[in-house]
């Protein structure tokens, strides 16, 4: 399987990085983003403290081989892996997720989840917005949102906490992670850097190497000036600081405040904990997500690719993908719990669809929207349970069927946002944040 493209031809390349072009560079500046988000916050605020972390496994994780296994099915369905016991009696996971199995009491599984689209891009949009794309949808656009993403709705409705952005995407922007008609203030601040690299830096917090020397010198001088404003008690300096736009000042505060620097300084974590998350992009992105919600970010979208296992599904999962998911996801749940943060952090782990129940001729599994399974925990939900059943071969839900619009309703309910909320497009057309018929997955809150 090639690593540069999905099977539908979409390149795996860094996507649109709104908000990460540099405060004085092209695109949406930091001060503009803060100004727009503050304006959005005025429209409605919640006192709810819950944040959202989405681990989006793009390409489509094979849930029949991970957390919806069918050990009693015929060999051409059940595959090569065996299930193992977890910390919750009666619930089993894949043998290649041993660390995650020990954290089963901290999250739940929805095994009766399904939708009607098995195409990359289209299914992404469905999962990340709750809305199925129209026939005019172009999956190659960057971004391609016809409707706002969950993170964008949260950013628009609740606004930022303090100086940190309301919505962050890492290590890159997802095509369906944008704000659509909600505007640029609802787009994510995109880190656009791999937190696993030794020289990890966020471009709006540290000047990129491509900035010309003269411009870099000017920025250093400007930041030095801001530092003097922050530290000086002289009236003249205070007056100069007030002369800056309120939102420029907030942008400077974001760049220079110890709290913000600390949130993005992943090197501040102990070597032991970083090793436990895993020294890879997914693991360190999970750690960064925890740091960001700890600092006040309301929604973090972690975008991880290469889950499109049409060929050598079992080799890819066993040797490349599941070891990373096992360390990153298990340590995220454990770390949030140890810090007393799990109750206030909704963690969702999903791909855009599942994989075919029957193994194909290339020892792989193909796209399968009719059945998949979600892992989610924290955020006031009941943990350590299984919702629904996908039948003896994981072909389709046979009980409690749920879909993307129900996932949207569940997310917003958990974060204290009414699923009945309606926004209006620029043309004045009402647009519910949850499509008609969407319902909260009630078993998760019983």
Instruction: Encode pLDDT of 316-362 as tens digits.
Output: 999 999 999 999 999 999 999 999 999 999 999 999 999 999 999 99
pLDDT for residue 175 is more than 90: yes
DSSP assignment of 264-286: H-GGGS-HHHHHHH-SSHHHHHH
Q: Which residue has the tokens 């990890």?
A: 200
Per-residue pLDDT at 148 exceeds 90:
yes
User: For the residues 151-162, what does the mean pLDDT come to?
Assistant: 94
Asked if residues 316 and 1 have their Cβ atoms less than 8 Å apart, the reply is yes
* Residue 412 near residue 421 (C-beta atoms within 8 A): yes
Tell me the per-residue pLDDT of 413-426, one tens digit each, with 9 for 90 and over: 999 999 999 999 99
pLDDT at 122: 98
How much of the chain, in percent, has pLDDT values that exceed 70? Answer: 76
Percent of the chain with pLDDT strictly greater than 90: 72
Residues sharing a CB contact under 8 Å with residue 361, sequence separation 6 or more, in sequence order: none
- Cβ–Cβ < 8 Å for 103, 87: yes
Domain locations along the chain: 30-209+264-445
| pLDDT for the residue numbered 438 | 97
Choice between 157 and 212, residue whose per-residue pLDDT is larger = 157
What confidence tier does 28 reach under pLDDT thresholds 50, 70, 90? very low
Q: How far apart are CA 438 and CA 131, in angstroms?
A: 10
pLDDT of residue 253: 54
26-30, 42-46, 55-59, 156-160: the lowest-pLDDT one: 26-30
pLDDT at 266: 93
Decide if 92 contacts 384 (C-beta within 8 A).
Answer: no
Residue 387 binned pLDDT confidence (cut-offs 50, 70, 90): very high
Q: If we measure between CA atoms, which residue out of 248, 186, 252 comes closest to residue 43?
A: 186
Element (H or E) spanning 318, and its range?
Answer: none
Contacts of 176 (CB under 8 A, 6+ apart): 121, 124, 125, 128, 129, 143, 144, 145, 149
Q: How confident is the model over 364-384, as pLDDT tens digits?
A: 999 999 999 999 999 999 999
Q: What is the mean pLDDT of residues 31-35?
A: 50
- The residues with which 304 forms a beta bridge, in sequence order, are 57
- CA nearest neighbour of 167 among 147, 184, 190, 148: 190
At residue 162, the pLDDT reads 83
- What is the model's pLDDT at position 264? 85
pLDDT band of 229, cuts 50, 70, 90: very low
Burial 13-52, CB ≥16 within 10 A → b, else e: eebbbbbbbbbebeebbbbbbbbbbbebbeeeeeeeebbb
For residues 214-234, average pLDDT: 52
Backbone angles phi, psi at 122, to 5 degrees: -65, -50
Average pLDDT, the chain: 85
pLDDT digits (tens, 9 = 90+) for 185-220: 899 989 999 999 998 988 766 544 344 445 545 555
Confidence tier at 242 by pLDDT (50, 70, 90) = very low
The predicted-structure confidence for 72-112, as pLDDT tens digits, reads as follows: 999 999 999 999 999 999 999 999 999 999 999 999 999 99
Average pLDDT rounded to a whole number, residues 382-402? 97
CATH superfamily membership of 30-209+264-445: Alkaline Phosphatase, subunit A (3.40.720.10)
CA dihedral of residues 211, 212, 213, 216 (deg, nearest 10): -40
pLDDT given at position 348: 98
């Amino acid at each position: 399987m090639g690593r540069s493209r999905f099977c539908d031809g979409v390149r795996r390349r860094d996507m649109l990085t709104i908000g990460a072009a540099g405060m004085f560079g092209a695109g949406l500046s930091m001060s503009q983003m803060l100004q727009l988000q503050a304006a959005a916050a005025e429209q409605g605020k919640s006192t709810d403290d819950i944040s959202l972390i989405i681990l989006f496994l793009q390409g489509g994780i094979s849930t029949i081989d991970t957390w919806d296994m069918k050990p009693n099915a015929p060999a051409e369905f059940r595959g090569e892996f065996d299930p193992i016991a977890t910390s919750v009696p009666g619930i089993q996971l894949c043998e290649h997720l041993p660390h995650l199995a020990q954290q089963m009491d901290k999250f739940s599984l929805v095994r009766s989840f399904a939708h009607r689209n098995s195409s990359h891009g289209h299914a992404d949009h469905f999962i990340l917005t709750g809305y199925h794309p129209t026939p005019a949808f172009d999956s190659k656009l960057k971004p391609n949102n016809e409707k706002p993403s969950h993170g964008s709705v949260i950013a628009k409705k609740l606004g930022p906490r303090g100086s940190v952005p309301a919505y962050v995407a890492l290590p890159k922007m997802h095509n369906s992670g944008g704000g659509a008609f909600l505007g640029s203030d609802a787009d994510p601040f995109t880190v656009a850097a791999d937190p696993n690299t030794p020289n990890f830096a966020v471009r709006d917090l540290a000047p990129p190497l491509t900035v010309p020397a003269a411009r870099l010198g000017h920025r250093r001088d400007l930041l030095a000036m801001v530092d003097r404003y922050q530290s000086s008690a002289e009236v003249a300096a205070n007056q100069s600081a007030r002369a800056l736009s309120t939102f420029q000042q907030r942008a400077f505060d974001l760049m220079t405040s110890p709290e913000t620097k600390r949130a993005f300084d992943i090197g501040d974590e102990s070597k032991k904990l970083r090793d436990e998350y895993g020294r890879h992009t997914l693991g360190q992105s999970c750690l960064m997500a925890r740091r960001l919600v700890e600092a006040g970010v309301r929604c973090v979208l972690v975008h991880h690719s290469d889950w499109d296992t049409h060929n050598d599904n079992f080799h890819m999962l066993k040797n490349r993908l599941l070891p990373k998911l096992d360390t990153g996801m298990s340590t995220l749940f454990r770390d949030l719990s140890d810090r007393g943060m799990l109750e206030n952090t909704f963690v969702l782990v999903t791909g855009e669809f599942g994989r075919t129940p029957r193994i194909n001729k290339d020892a792989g599994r193909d796209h399968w929207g009719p059945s998949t399974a979600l892992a989610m925990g924290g955020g006031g939900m009941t943990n350590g349970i299984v919702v629904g059943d996908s039948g003896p071969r994981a072909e389709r839900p046979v009980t409690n069927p749920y879909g993307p619009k129900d996932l949207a309703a569940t997310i917003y309910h958990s974060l204290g946002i009414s699923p009945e909320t309606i926004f209006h497009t620029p043309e004045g057309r009402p647009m519910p944040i949850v499509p008609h018929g969407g319902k909260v997955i009630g078993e998760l809150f019983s």
